[in-house]
Structure 1
Amino acid sequence: MCTAINFLDQANETVFGRTMDFYAILDPHLVSFPAGASWETMLGQTLADQYGVGGIGRHAQHRYVLFDGVNEMGLAGGALYFKGYADFPQPSKHSGQVQLSALDFLHYALGSCASLDDIRERLADLTLVGIQDGLTGTVAPMHWMFTDLSGRGLVVEQTALGLHIYENPVGVLTNSPDFPWQMTNLRNYLGVAPEQTEQVDWNGLQMEPFGQAGGTSALPGGYTPPARFVRTVFQKLHMVPPKGIEEAVVAGFHILEGVTLPNGVVKTANGTFDYTQYTAMIDLGQKVYYFKTYENPQVIQVDMKPLWKSKEKVVQDLGSIQTSIFYGHLR
């Protein structure tokens, strides 16, 4: 369970954001790979990043699997769970295309693509295959959302019907069902509006609304992927457009707060709890990460550009960043 967003501020600066919701402890790390850095894929291939890449991910099998990230060209994206719909073939020695594990696709895209159009071109020569994830013991069912400096959004999904690449006109992605279904489902909420409901007359019975927000009463309030998709699209498309990048980052955090999961409210079949382990926003123009963890709501800012100047990858455990949850005290 995760939610991702992208949008422009009034100065046409792009931000990308996401919640990372999962039932297993991910131990997330911030990782920076400079341009030219080599890394090993799940299939044992050695690849070199054309562009500097920075992202949040976890250490798995002697490598870092990225959950979200940005590159030095201003391309950003995130991987989200797509259970019940994602379908990846097993690796084959007889494939005529380059094969890449779905777990490696985000890093590959950020390391080799400068724009959404580049992603489309790269995917034409790729076969995304399924590799068992050591954390869950299953083939990780992923789909992806990307954005670049243009502010456009792209969704990449592979199902039993094949690979699908969709333009994302709403700048939101959650989980299952597939993206076209989520877009169609929005039509069930045509009556939702930010305006207040007027007084009504039911055959002589006069009724007035309670307070404000009567126009939003039909919004779904649960944490299912369709409910989060509808709620986030409504909030994102009706917010006051941020004037600049700082306002955009703050607005992004506010929108994502509407779908964050407290630990304990979503219980899985194995008795664990899905909860929001971190929330991140990215300024694509300046390549600056902003994130906060479940344990500490204080927002941490990291400029990726100086890290890319290092010849080695830089790793920072998000859990080890100890800052006060209080900014200051009134006296």
Structure 2
Amino acid sequence: MTYFPANKLVFAIAALTSLSVALAAEACTYVRLTGADGSQHPGRSMEWGTFDIKPGFSVIPRGHEHSAMTMPDGADGAEWSGKYGYAGVSLLEREGLFGDVINEAGLVMNLLYFPGFAEYQPYDPAQAENSISATDYMTYMASQFATVQEVIEATRDVRVVPVVEPSLGFAAPVHVVVSDPSGDEIVVEYINGELHIFEETIGVMTNSPPYDWHLTNLRNYLNLRPVNWPDIEVEGLTVGGIGYGTGLLGLPGDYTPPSRFIRATAYKETARETQGAYDTTLEHFRILGHFQLPLETDFSDLPDGLDPISYGSTQYTVSFDTSNMQVYYFTDDEARVRKFDLKKIDWDTLSEPMTKPLRRGGPPQVEEVVFDN
């Protein structure tokens, strides 16, 4: 056995803590639940500990004129007019930059960080008019298509190229989960300059490595089960588990993407049966609550225009009810659940984009409970 001097042990613990914070700062977890009525509820927690992404909720009308980000050589990228209105969580107070969107047909797209593996298609100046950035992909698909199958066909036709994201200083390394009210779902990734569309999915996603690696890794956890393991006899002695939960012994508890993928899968597969609507949303938030990551630190070297986060790395958590067109969420500064009712939007008359901050601002609203005399 190796023994560490006290000062070296402290240093080792500090190094491990710094590593876990770095991993947690770029962590996102996606889970999609299905209600007993067949309703689909995709949603995610957004962990971003590097800077405040200033989440807002934006509504974009039909017919809105879109332009892709400027191409690597300064040329204009694709331009298009929106066929569908859509809404979602916008980022950095910038039009066209979304973390999550839902359009009026119920198509939902969720953007997750994919560092170390995302590599987009090579930029070809001759195809600039058919090229978009990785973040443009969200608005292009949400504004043009109603179903996952339509998105699959369109994704094969458009080129996603490495356009620098100003807030990062490099092309945003991301992958996208796309789902619709029918229960269809795909994961879209660009690896080694090639498009990969995964059509066999399980309603769970985290970050790197690629999606098929996560599915292979699931095979290491076939022993997990929602009930306790039975007692065994050892030399005439009955040996039972110590407390409840022996069926989940071996469930990884760290914050790395592979471990969160396994944990999210286990929670999803052992979730209670829900009826749909807000009943499923409650279960959704119960599961996503396991991935709320606290992070208090000072980032003093941020680029101009970016602010450190105030509370933690889980800046928002969102759940979409695609059947009832409701978007439920809570933020890092206030755990109270709020919602946007998209049925109240008149898509026929809406003519200009609208945005509200996702955070309420000011002190959290706390309901005091009193005893009646």
Residue identity in the other structure for 2:54: D
Residue identity in the other structure for 2:175: H
Q: Which has the higher strand share?
A: 1
Deviation at 1:241, TM superposition (A): 1.8
Residues of 2 paired with 1:304 and 1:277: CA distance? 22
Deviation at 1:243, TM superposition (A): 1.2
Q: Which residue of 2 aligns with 1:29?
A: 56
| Equivalent residue for 1:276, pick from 302, 314, 330 | 314
Pair 1:186–1:290, CA change in 2 (3 A): same
Deviation at 1:326, TM superposition (A): 2.6
Give the count of matched residue pairs.
328
- Rg bigger for which structure? 2
Residue identity in the other structure for 2:65: S
Deviations 1:217-237 (A, max 9, x none): 211111110111111111111
Deviations 1:159-209 (A, max 9, x none): 006101112431011000111110010110111111112223445554321
Residues of 2 paired with 1:228 and 1:35: CA distance? 37
Residues of 2 paired with 1:25 and 1:237: CA distance? 33
2:182 paired with 1:150 = yes
Q: Which residue of 1 aligns with 2:40?
A: 14
Pair 1:328–1:151, CA change in 2 (3 A): farther
Name the SS for the 1:230 alignment partner: helix
Deviations 1:241-289 (A, max 9, x none): 2112111111111111111211249x99x89897110000011122211
Q: Which residue of 2 aligns with 1:4?
A: 30
Alpha-carbon contact 1:103-1:140 (below 8 Å) kept: yes
| Equivalent residue for 1:132, pick from 124, 146, 164 | 164
Q: Which residue of 2 aligns with 1:253?
A: 285
Alpha-carbon contact 1:7-1:151 (below 8 Å) kept: no
Q: Which residue of 2 aligns with 1:285?
A: 323
Residue identity in the other structure for 1:303: D
Name the SS for the 1:231 alignment partner: helix
Pair 1:263–1:138, CA change in 2 (3 A): same
Q: Which residue of 1 aligns with 2:137?
A: 105
Residue identity in the other structure for 2:85: G
Q: Which residue of 2 aligns with 1:54?
A: 87
Matches within 5 A, 1:313-328: 313-320=353-360, 324-328=364-368
Pair 1:291–1:323, CA change in 2 (3 A): farther
Q: TM-score, normalised by structure 2?
A: 0.82
Deviation at 1:97, TM superposition (A): 7.5
% identity of equivalent residues: 28
Q: TM-score, normalised by structure 1?
A: 0.92
Deviations 1:44-72 (A, max 9, x none): 44422110110102146x52301001000
Pair 1:322–1:109, CA change in 2 (3 A): farther
Q: Which runs of 5+ in 1 are unaligned?
A: none
Alpha-carbon contact 1:75-1:146 (below 8 Å) kept: yes
2:295 paired with 1:263 = yes
Alpha-carbon contact 1:18-1:280 (below 8 Å) kept: yes
Alpha-carbon contact 1:298-1:323 (below 8 Å) kept: no
Deviating more after overlay: 172-181 vs 33-42: 33-42
Alpha-carbon contact 2:277-2:324 (below 8 Å) kept: no
Residues of 1 paired with 2:343 and 2:278: CA distance? 18
| Equivalent residue for 2:269, pick from 226, 237, 240 | 237
Pair 1:320–1:91, CA change in 2 (3 A): farther
Name the SS for the 2:317 alignment partner: strand
